[in-house]
Amino acid sequence: MIVEIARQITDERIIPHRAELDEKDEFPRAILNEMARADLFGVPIPEEYGGFGGGCFDIVLALEQLGRGCIGVGTAFAASSLGVYPVLIAGSQEMREKYLPDVASGKKFAGFGLTEANAGSDASGIQTTAVLDGDEWVLNGTKQWITNGGEAQIYTVVAITDRSRGARGASILVVEEGDPGFSCGPKEKKMGIRASATTELIFKDCRIPKDRLIGRKGTGFITVMKTLDSSRPGIAALGLGLAQGALDEAASYAKQRVQFGKPIMAFQAVQHMLADMAIQLEAARALVYGAARHIDAHPNDMSKVSSMCKVFATDMAMKVAIDAVQVMGGYGYMREYPVEKMMRDAKILQIYEGTNQIQRNVVGQELNKEYARA
Amino acid sequence: MKIIVCIKQVPDAKDVRLDPKTNTLAREGVQSIMNPYDQHAVEEAVRLKELLGGEVTVLSMGPPQAEEVLRQAISCGADHAVLVSDRAFAGADTWATSYTLAKAVNVIGSFDLLLCGKQAIDGDTAQVGPGLAMRLQIPYVTCVQKVRQATDSGLILERMMDDGYDVLAVDFPALLTVVKDINEPRVPSLKGKMRAKKVEIRRLSAADIGADPACIGLPGSPTQVVKVFPPEARCKRAVFTGDLDEQIGQLVDSLQPYL
């Protein structure tokens, strides 16, 4: 059912508008509202908070469909879940009741604020601070490249609450749109996923109530890691969708395009490219689906499989998108055809939600631990 | 506010072919869908419900598998579904169909508004909506392209015309047939789909609606299809060349015999 709905939204609402959203750098509010009405935002949220209690596999299936249409739209959608994962993972009962139902219904969007100018892959470089002053936290600092910035109403923000404790000195707090001292920067100009909004989050003596702290003070990094472990298979799924879309375009073009008196699909050089694209896509799909089902069983090695599937599926998506442009030649390079956008979009999949180099570090570190025990 | 929407299951026009021998529709293997105009009628009903409160009942006359489109309407926000189904209804034309639907509407009970699609894409007659209104003795407006204003007592509407639109006010109870411009049907929701799976569909037979056997199905249908044939392609093609003035001259010349 989730797949059917996501497919219908992709075919009827996303695909006809994706080129325009890309061209105009436009946030897909109408599409997201339709997704909200179709209850898709509720998929990852537990039933007691108005959601459907879907697992990782459900989310993967939904995002795969959306990714086939436009990963910019898919990113805006997924980032709202990402934004409240910290609340879901470590928030108090009151906090969950306060924030999750509105995100499940799509009435409000959320965003996750981790990255800073000097803290990307190395999250320990975070400069944003939160200091308790009476009954309020006072935040100072700037978050960078935050998806849904300026469009979301709820932000989960990682800030240092005790510099002396290093990684154990970080905490996550909820900042709401309209909190005093909080503003969003201008929309960034990006290579791809231009339908999604990306801005700075700026905190200047931003004062928020004491109870906006998620979980206990100093547990921020653990929650960040758990959050990203949960969300990465979704990025992998966007990669699957993008690659499927690129393969669909390239293969149907190759059937129609005639050169030397034959459709180019008849030439082995082209056929082998398409075959390799399809093989890699299926291999990635098997891994992502397998990882998602494994994660739904709440294993101990969630970080490892989550990183593995993110790396493999997004590297695959980049390669398949590049090859789709190659199969389509000059037409593929033109904006009239969607693979040009797909190729620009695909690049971010290898970068955000932890670069693919960092993912390999995670896999490597996990292997190191596993084999130390053996 | 109580709204009843009449919907029909039709073969997907994208897949339909004519049997070259019999000139009838080759329905085998063709997917069935909710008549596209009816999807807009359901959407408008659900929007009016969201605006004014009340409930939406979807009604279909058809074989048992027409249940599918009723469930689809439930997944898009309708509350109740009624299927009027009986072998005796087979072969009904628009006269017998409007009789049958009117009888079914009377069994469902009171209503404020009846909505239909402008026409079904298989028969393309656009007669059942107005026919139903006549049988129920209520006012009707066809080809509604917009509901401008809705209150508990009536509606202000735009009716699509060839050269623009009329603005009309209508009191309840009334029947409207809608065109596609009226709205964009929503994607079904997850909650809706779950409800659609479980919802109980009320089934009514010819006896349940108290239909006179002489008025339904083939016996109740005065329309006789004498012959069905695909129209011959008649258009001649011509390419005009030269500069614009020359081309216009050639066009005028070629139209001359018909003026």
A8 neighbourhood in chain B, CB within 8 Å: 187-188
A246 & A330 share domain = yes
Asked if B187's CB is within 8 angstroms of A13's CB, the reply is: yes
- pLDDT mean over B30-38: 92
Q: Inform me whether the pLDDT recorded for A373 exceeds 80.
A: no
Higher-pLDDT residue of A301, B28? A301
pLDDT digits (tens, 9 = 90+) for B52-79: 999 999 999 999 999 999 999 999 999 9
A247 & A213 share domain = no
Q: Which residues contact A126 (CB under 8 A, 6 or more apart)?
A: A114, A116, A119, A141, A158, A159, A160, A170
Asked if B189's CB is within 8 angstroms of A52's CB, the reply is: no
Question: How crowded is residue B12: how many other Cβ atoms within 10 Å of its Cβ?
Answer: 12
A137 & A42 share domain = no
- pLDDT mean over B5-29: 79
DSSP state of A134: T
Q: Inform me whether the pLDDT recorded for B124 exceeds 90.
A: no
A201 & A232 share domain = no
Asked if B186's CB is within 8 angstroms of A8's CB, the reply is: no
Domain finish residue from A91, A108, A125: A108
A226 & A334 share domain = yes
Q: What is the CATH number of the domain that holds A339?
A: 1.20.140.10
User: Which pLDDT does position A324 carry in this prediction?
Assistant: 98
Rounded Cα distance, A372 and A365, in Å = 11
Crossing angle, helix A268-296 and helix A302-333, to 10 degrees?
150
Q: In which band, very low, low, confident or very high, does the pLDDT at A120 lie, cut at 50, 70 and 90?
A: confident
pLDDT digits (tens, 9 = 90+) for A296-309: 999 988 999 999 99
A328 & A253 share domain = yes
Q: What is the CATH number of the domain that holds A213?
A: 2.40.110.10
Rounded Cα distance, A320 and B118, in Å = 46
Q: Where are the domains of chain B?
A: 2-226
A8 & A58 share domain = yes
Q: In this structure, what token pair is assigned to residue B224?
A: 């006789």
Question: How crowded is residue B213: how many other Cβ atoms within 10 Å of its Cβ?
Answer: 11
Per the structure, the complete domain to which residue A368 belongs is given by 221-373
Concerning whether A353 is annotated as a catalytic residue, the answer is: yes
Chain A nearest-CA distance from B43, in A, is 13
Rounded Cα distance, A334 and B47, in Å = 41
- pLDDT mean over B156-181: 96
User: Which pLDDT does position A197 carry in this prediction?
Assistant: 97
Q: Inform me whether the pLDDT recorded for B14 exceeds 80.
A: no
Is residue B191 less than 8 Å (CB to CB) from chain A?
yes
Stretch (H or E) spanning A331: helix A302-333
Find out whether A162 and A126 touch, Cβ atoms under 8 Å.
Answer: no
ipTM for the assembly? 0.82
Q: What is the CATH number of the domain that holds A26?
A: 1.10.540.10
Domain finish residue from A108, A131, A160: A108
User: Which pLDDT does position B65 carry in this prediction?
Assistant: 93
A5 neighbourhood in chain B, CB within 8 Å: 187-190, 193
Is residue B186 less than 8 Å (CB to CB) from chain A?
yes
- pLDDT mean over B157-180: 96
Strand ranges inside B153-209, DSSP E: 154-161, 164-171, 174-178, 202-204
Which fold would CATH assign to domain B2-226? Rossmann fold (3.40.50)
Smallest CA–CA distance from B75 into chain A, residue: A38
Q: In this structure, what token pair is assigned to residue B193?
A: 């789909």
Is residue B180 less than 8 Å (CB to CB) from chain A?
no
Rounded Cα distance, B1 and A370, in Å = 65
User: Which pLDDT does position A140 carry in this prediction?
Assistant: 98
User: Which pLDDT does position B39 carry in this prediction?
Assistant: 97
Domain finish residue from A50, A73, A108: A108
Q: In which band, very low, low, confident or very high, does the pLDDT at B45 lie, cut at 50, 70 and 90?
A: very high
A206 & A226 share domain = no
- pLDDT mean over A258-265: 96
Rounded Cα distance, A50 and A59, in Å = 16
A185 & A282 share domain = no
- pLDDT mean over A29-40: 96
A152 & A285 share domain = no
Chain A nearest-CA distance from B39, in A, is 14
Q: In which band, very low, low, confident or very high, does the pLDDT at B21 lie, cut at 50, 70 and 90?
A: confident
Stretch (H or E) spanning A246: helix A220-256
pLDDT digits (tens, 9 = 90+) for B181-202: 999 999 999 999 999 999 999 9
- pLDDT mean over A85-99: 96
Is residue B189 less than 8 Å (CB to CB) from chain A?
yes
A167 & A231 share domain = no
**pTM of this structure:** 0.88
Is residue A8 less than 8 Å (CB to CB) from chain B?
yes
Asked if A1's CB is within 8 angstroms of B193's CB, the reply is: yes
- pLDDT mean over B84-103: 95
- Quote the percentage of chain B above a pLDDT of 90: 78
Query: Into how many domains does chain A fold?
Result: 3
User: Side chain identity at A247, as an amino acid letter?
Assistant: L
User: Which pLDDT does position A374 carry in this prediction?
Assistant: 67
A231 & A355 share domain = yes
SS3 B145: strand
A2 neighbourhood in chain B, CB within 8 Å: 190
pLDDT digits (tens, 9 = 90+) for A217-239: 999 999 999 999 999 999 999 99
DSSP state of B173: S
- pLDDT mean over A251-272: 97
User: Which pLDDT does position B17 carry in this prediction?
Assistant: 75
Q: Inform me whether the pLDDT recorded for A31 exceeds 70.
A: yes
Question: How crowded is residue A346: how many other Cβ atoms within 10 Å of its Cβ?
Answer: 29
User: Which pLDDT does position B173 carry in this prediction?
Assistant: 96
